[in-house]
Chain A
């Protein structure tokens, strides 16, 4: 086995991983290690990694999280407010003291992966890898081999959750660089409904590498809303691989708000597997400094009568760089597909860069598909207009950025979540956040 230079102890660090003793899991881990070994870390030679190189992994040596529970004092965690339950991980370890799983509604399982592996290994075996069965993704293989944390959400048939569930990952509070490998498993059974909000919070200045994999099964007639706020710290490398399967007449709505991290990348593979399936896969990114953010998605409209819509908007300042690679595939005979994709980016600085590639691959004729992409700067006429009405330039710029991104956030159907995320957008804007309250009221 080749050395994995970025990881202390390589892929075989001798620590105890969740699910120890489960033969099927061991086999899965071994297969993952072997596959990662064969594939190696992704490089820009791979089309899906054309614009992103895992540079932080070149010169940083990460230590996988140990068995000791973390006890760091922590306060002011983000939340969307009134939630049904909440799981908090700090530096990759579950923190029961911060989590709240007391009042889970009937028919809902929600908690750390290791609990499910211990309590219901048969269920875990049946679902782990059921959606994410691709063999060409090195980062998924690495997660397969190393999964050491993560959560499970299982909503039983017909159960409709009214309040959202929340997961918080806190990183950056360690002296040495750490790595963790969350594996999340989401199963929404037929006609069930749930909303999940994931917060990735970077605290402090410690470097960390999170290589997450998430599998989402939205069964026939189910509705799943999935919101992610990625606000890692300036030393963080965040790589997420998501696989989603959407059943007949089911709806999957996802919004990725990316506002931090040295390097962050989400690669989603979504299959519209049943007729009448709908997918809304959206996001916004706001980057500054030397941050790099990559949103890569592949939406497979595999059967007739499916719809998907994608809106991604972003703002780049300083030397930040963003990548958007979206691909919609309409399979042969998947007639009546309706696929829309839009990516718009504002460059606020001379040194920012956007690389975008909205791609359509279509094998059925009776379809309506469209994509669009724009890059440019703030509308100078609008800026002048606002200034001529007495608004100072910095505020005017903020207003325009906010309205630009707000457009993408309109795709969030949950109003509470939309407001919380909009608030994050406003707080990202430079120096004039004191205006936020006023704007919100006038909006």
Chain B
């Protein structure tokens, strides 16, 4: 069965329960009391047995956070966030006694993963993917550690990395996204509970794709994971991130930070399929996804490539960016963002060209349906020293229905005459004659829409690793459910 046919079937199969991942796992959790204060920051740090420097770092971030204003420049709109209504720490009870193998993992937890469509064992065996599961902030099972250890790759929860290789963490943490970068990142710096840490030693090509599934389960839990990936000289890693969250009426906050560092000749490929709960048709509930993702191409000939498929969240606010410091370094951003119903997304990228002959490429495909509003916001900045820099941007929007909005806000700032920047953007709709043509060949309307949309997104889909691409294609169909007819 082809992907689109599958999509359609999926659409039908979920029409009863709508959001497939909207279940709640009943696991006794170990939580901090609601609210945010210095005491809570200390509580989190103590709970995790962190070194003094990190506590100081967190406290510094917390104090800056108190003073910082919310970012006002994006197009998304929401009532003021009551930061005191969230729990900033929540870990499954079994934390004290970590499972040594999957057999020791709470069966309910495994069942949860089952529902998410990630059978751990099967994935271990078939896909060869090492998955660092983040379940309400704390990693509970890490697989394939051995194989990675053999080549010297460190892939573990960041809390564990603080014990195993504190110097590495300290050396890079906060160097790409500074503590006070923006209010959301600042909050993350103060209260992050877990996330992944990856270190690829010089010359190593990571033998498998690394993957983390994030999931917000506890009610009223903010999720603040922090990911740090360091690719040392001449190394390569491909990292996959998938996100789902259960259905809740309240708005949950997700303020993650991802920092990537690529040294000389290193390459990092970071792929995301984001399918957080988007809220219901009227915009009730859903995740506030306020994420700061940034990569630094520190070394010469380094490369960082972001690929994202964004279909979830009530509000998305994220701009995976590249700072191209090293000469000849390359930054890429491939994005598909789909908004439906009352979703809002303000997403895009920043490419900061500092080194000579740096190149960047931005391909963004936005699809707006229902009453949703979507903005592409991008910055291409060429500094005076970025001799020979080159950027190409292609930014296309597709509108489905007459109640949605699609906006394109590209900023181009060039201070170098030898740099070439090219930006192209289009906005259009699926034409009536396209749909008629496909339907005349026997393809039902919803499948026809999914087919056209998948075609529209093809350039980006091709950037995704195989398993992800299949999942992403399905999501396109699911996300656009009810947007036609």
Direct contact of A and B (CB under 8 A): yes
Q: Which residues of A contact B (CB under 8 A)?
A: 47, 332-333, 335, 345, 347-377
The stretch among B23-31, B86-94, B426-434 that forms the contact with chain A is B426-434
Q: How far is the CB of B189 from chain A (nearest CB, A)?
A: 26
Q: B residues within 8 Å of A by Cβ? A: 73, 382, 384, 397, 399-429
A359 and B402 contacting across the interface, CB-CB below 8 Å = no
- Chain B residues with Cβ under 8 A from A360's Cβ? 397, 406-408, 425, 427
Q: Are B414 and A365 in contact (CB under 8 A)?
A: no
Known A370-B424, A375-B421; contact A353-B415, beta-carbon cutoff 8 A: yes
Partner of B399, one of A356, A362, A374: A362
User: Nearest Cβ in chain A — how far from B337, in angstroms?
Assistant: 15
Q: What would 29 A/B residue contacts be, using CB atoms closer than 8 Å? A: A347-B414, A350-B417, A353-B413, A353-B415, A354-B413, A354-B414, A356-B411, A357-B412, A359-B410, A360-B408, A361-B407, A362-B405, A362-B427, A364-B399, A364-B402, A365-B429, A366-B402, A370-B425, A370-B426, A370-B427, A371-B423, A373-B421, A374-B423, A375-B412, A375-B414, A376-B419, A376-B420, A376-B421, A376-B422
Closest to B405 in A: A363
- Which residue of chain A is the closest to B422 with respect to CB atoms? A374
- With contacts A351-B384, A370-B425 taken as known, whether A357 is within 8 angstroms of B417 at the C-beta atoms is no
Contact A350 B384 (CB under 8 A): yes
How far is A284 from B416 in the complex, measured between Cα atoms in Å? 20
Report the Cα distance A31→B236, complex, angstroms.
64
Who on chain A is nearest to B399 by CB?
A365
**Contact check: which of B382, B410, B416, B428 meets A368 at CB < 8 Å?**
B428
Using known A-B contacts A355-B412, A375-B412, determine if residue A366 contacts B423 with beta carbons closer than 8 Å.
no
B421: chain A residues at CB < 8 Å are 373-376
Cα distance, A347 to B397, chains bound together (Å): 30
Min CB gap A407→B, angstroms: 16
Interface of B is mostly: strand
Point out the residues of chain A lying under 8 angstroms from B417, CB to CB: 347-350, 352, 376-377
Question: For B419, what are the chain A residues with a Cβ–Cβ distance below 8 Å?
Answer: 347, 375-376
**Minimum CB distance partner of A354 in chain B:** B414
Which residues of the other chain, B, contact A373 by a CB distance below 8 angstroms?
Answer: 410, 412, 421-423
Instruction: List chain A residues, Cβ under 8 A from B382.
Output: 375
A362-B397, A376-B420, A377-B417 given; A367·B407 CB < 8 A: no
- CB-nearest residue of chain A to B427: A369
A270 to chain B, nearest CB (A): 18
B436 to chain A, nearest CB (A): 15
- Given A359-B407, A360-B407: A47 and B73 interface contact (C-beta under 8 Å): yes
Taken together as a complex, chains A and B put the C-alpha atoms of A368 and B411 apart, in Å, by: 22
What is the CA–CA distance of A373 and B414 in the complex, to the nearest angstrom? Answer: 12
CA distance A367 to B415 in the complex (A): 34
> Bound state CA distance, A375 and B413, in angstroms?
9
A365 to B382, CA, bound (A): 34
Distance of B238 from chain A, by nearest CB (Å):
32
Give CA–CA (A356, B419) in the complex, Å: 14
Choice from A345, A355, A367 contacting B411 with Cβ under 8 Å: A355
In the bound complex, residues from chain A placing their C-beta under 8 Å from that of B411 are: 355-357
Residue of A nearest to B73 (CB): A47
- Chain B residues contacting A335 (CB-CB under 8 Å) are 402
Extra contacts, 11 of them, besides A371-B408, A377-B420 (Cβ < 8 A), are A354-B414, A356-B411, A357-B411, A358-B410, A359-B409, A360-B407, A362-B427, A370-B424, A372-B422, A372-B423, A375-B414
B397 / chain A contacts, CB cutoff of 8 Å: 360, 362
